[in-house]
Amino acid sequence: MPSSVVVHVRRTGSLLAPAAVYALILLAVAQVLPGINASARAATKTVNCADLAISFDAKSDYDLSCESDTSLLADMDGSMLIQHLEATADDSSNFVDAFYYNLMGRVIYTANDLRNNITTFYGKLPIRDWQSGRPVSTLTTAEFKTEMRGLPSHCIAYQKLAHRDWGGYKKLMVGVACSQDNIEQSYAALKRLYLPN
């Protein structure tokens, strides 16, 4: 799970000074939106995975863990829904980590480079041998090698930007799928992930 996430957002429907157009919102998993004047802030809470917008076809061979939070962005005239899903194979050979951000109100997401987003979301994760990935549904993907959970791993970085609005996006889905032995396991697991439009 990443320790922090930087989301590049812009207010919509108004003229802002150039320095304010691309405001940075620093999100922490445990403390959502530190440094932002949020009028309401709740701790991320464990939820039933069936209640998330994202889902994973776990069948009987994966364990799921899910969290969700909604925060008001008072300074940005909007709010943000954050959902996290982690699916881990019963034999611990591979897992999928997925984050879903839904920006509501007059806020949009403007950063769209996959490598920059993965580096931002998973800042302490060493990334080696970054290369283009194979098509998986509507996802942008890249392959890389790393140390995950203390073991050498073959991973797929992925993202999906959705709901285009005012030169940016209202929804961002980003994450990694990793395997200790074979990247094909990661691709197979990633195909079981559902991300909304």
* pLDDT single digits (tens) 73-82: 766 678 888 9
Min mean pLDDT across 18-32, 96-110, 141-155 is at: 18-32
d(C-alpha 48, C-alpha 67), whole Å: 8
Can you tell me the mean pLDDT for 152-168? 89
Q: Residue 51, SS3?
A: helix
Number of domains in the chain: 1
User: What is the DSSP secondary-structure string of 144-175?
Assistant: EEEEETTEEEEEEEEEEEEEEETTEEEEEEEE
- How confident is the model at residue 22, as a pLDDT? 23
- How confident is the model at residue 163, as a pLDDT? 84
Can you tell me the mean pLDDT for 98-114? 85
Q: Is the pTM here over 0.85, yes or no?
A: no
- How confident is the model at residue 110, as a pLDDT? 82
- How confident is the model at residue 74, as a pLDDT? 67
Q: Could you tell me the residue range of the domain that residue 102 belongs to?
A: 4-194
Q: Are 36 and 80 in contact (CB under 8 A)?
A: no
Owner of token pair 């509507």: 138
Please report which confidence band the pLDDT of residue 95 belongs to, taking 50, 70 and 90 as the band edges: very high
Please report which confidence band the pLDDT of residue 16 belongs to, taking 50, 70 and 90 as the band edges: very low
- How confident is the model at residue 44, as a pLDDT? 67
pLDDT in tens, 114-126: 999 898 888 888 9
- How confident is the model at residue 4, as a pLDDT? 32
- How confident is the model at residue 111, as a pLDDT? 75
Q: Of 92, 91, 93, which Cα lies nearest the Cα of 181?
A: 93
- How confident is the model at residue 164, as a pLDDT? 82
Q: Give the chain's mean pLDDT.
A: 76
Residue of higher predicted confidence among 4 and 87:
87
